[in-house]
Amino acid sequence: MIVDGREKIEDLKAKAGAAARAQYRNGGLPDGAQLILTNDPQIFLDTAGRLKEGAKATTDLLGEMTRAQAELDTYAKDASANWTKLEANRVKQAKAKKEINDRIDAAKKLESELAAEERERLRRLEEQAQLKAQTTWLGTGVLDGLKEGATPEGKKAVEFATAQIGKPYVWGAEGPKSYDCSGLTQRSWGAAGLDIPRTSQEQWRLLPHVDIKDMRPGDLIVYFKDASHIGMYVGNGMIVHAPRPGRNVTLAGAGSMEILGVVRPT
């Protein structure tokens, strides 16, 4: 846009220069003066018409140059403002990513400082809490009458996801050696030939929602009120997911965490 605008202005300047050169070739005598000095009525009429047309052409040319310059100035100003905004967003995102990584590193450091038997005790407590939540969830009868059939694409997604079991959780990772929760679900459905949004919040917001009673393998279960975690339902009341830093991709009870809802990529 800026290049095109500058080229247009240069073209208009060239036309204005051509008009000036034409006047110079007339000996520097303006057309109006030539008109007054002529004794020939026909030349007078012809010259008067050309003078009127020339004056209008000159006015139009100057007006177009003014408009072109104004449009170019406006576009340049808008482009500068947009670049400043984009750069500010980039810096903001980079800062947010650094803060998240710093918190993850701090959590890892804290856990690594625990004695081995204390870490094992923490792991057992987590498992007990998850088992209790899963048992309570299943006890509601939420899966009664649930059809376990999966689409061919859903089967491919489940096969890919379960093949990643044992790989470590890394925030922001999309495979193949490590994953975060939504990186795992995105890559799994990508292996089934379907591109889905990257983050758990986007997957919750943009993918079609289904009731739990209609859930089938390959569907994604979104957890917590802020949609901060997601796993893939694989059947029999279980999910495969990448839990958190310090843990590996694993199977877990679908009801072992607070469920926000279910989405279906297909």
Q: Which amino acid belongs to residue 10?
A: E
Catalytic residue among 156, 187, 216, 229: 229
Residue 44 has pLDDT above 60, yes or no: no
Inter-residue contact 68 to 4 (CB < 8 Å) = no
pLDDT at 221: 98
In this structure, what token pair is assigned to residue 94?
């980079």
Please confirm, yes or no, whether 241 is among the known catalytic residues.
Answer: yes
Catalytic residue among 150, 181, 196, 222: 181
Inter-residue contact 196 to 234 (CB < 8 Å) = no
The per-residue pLDDT of the chain, averaged, comes to: 79
Please confirm, yes or no, whether 181 is among the known catalytic residues.
Answer: yes
pTM above 0.95, yes or no: no
Helix (H) or strand (E) holding 254: none
Q: Interior CA angle at 202 toward 266 and 242, to 5°?
A: 85
> pLDDT tens digit string along 126-150?
888 888 888 888 888 877 777 778 8
Inter-residue contact 167 to 239 (CB < 8 Å) = no
- Give the three-state DSSP class for 192: coil
pLDDT at 99: 78
pLDDT at 182: 97
Residue 1 has pLDDT above 80, yes or no: no
How large is the average pLDDT for residues 150-155?
93
pLDDT at 219: 97
How large is the average pLDDT for residues 40-55?
54
Distance CA 127, CA 155 (A): 27
Q: What percent of the chain clears pLDDT 90, i.e. is strictly above it?
A: 41
Task: Locate the domains of the chain by residue range.
Answer: 2-108, 143-263
pLDDT at 230: 98
Q: Which of 249, 216, 246 is nearest to 230 (CA)?
A: 249
Residues pairing with 68 in the sheet: none
How large is the average pLDDT for residues 1-17?
60
Residue 154 has pLDDT above 90, yes or no: yes
Helix residue spans in the chain (DSSP H): 2-25, 31-37, 41-112, 116-139, 152-163, 181-191, 200-206
pLDDT band of 33, cuts 50, 70, 90: very low
Catalytic residue among 156, 180, 241, 256: 241
- Give the three-state DSSP class for 166: coil
pLDDT at 37: 46
Beta strands in 152-258 (DSSP E): 209-210, 220-223, 229-235, 238-241, 250-253
Please confirm, yes or no, whether 209 is among the known catalytic residues.
Answer: no
Distance CA 96, CA 229 (A): 18
Helix (H) or strand (E) holding 259: strand 259-263
pLDDT at 28: 44
Question: What is 143-263's CATH number?
Answer: 3.90.1720.10
pLDDT band of 169, cuts 50, 70, 90: very high
Within 13 Å, how many C-alpha atoms sit on residue 36's CB side? 4
Distance CA 197, CA 251 (A): 23
In this structure, what token pair is assigned to residue 201?
């919040």
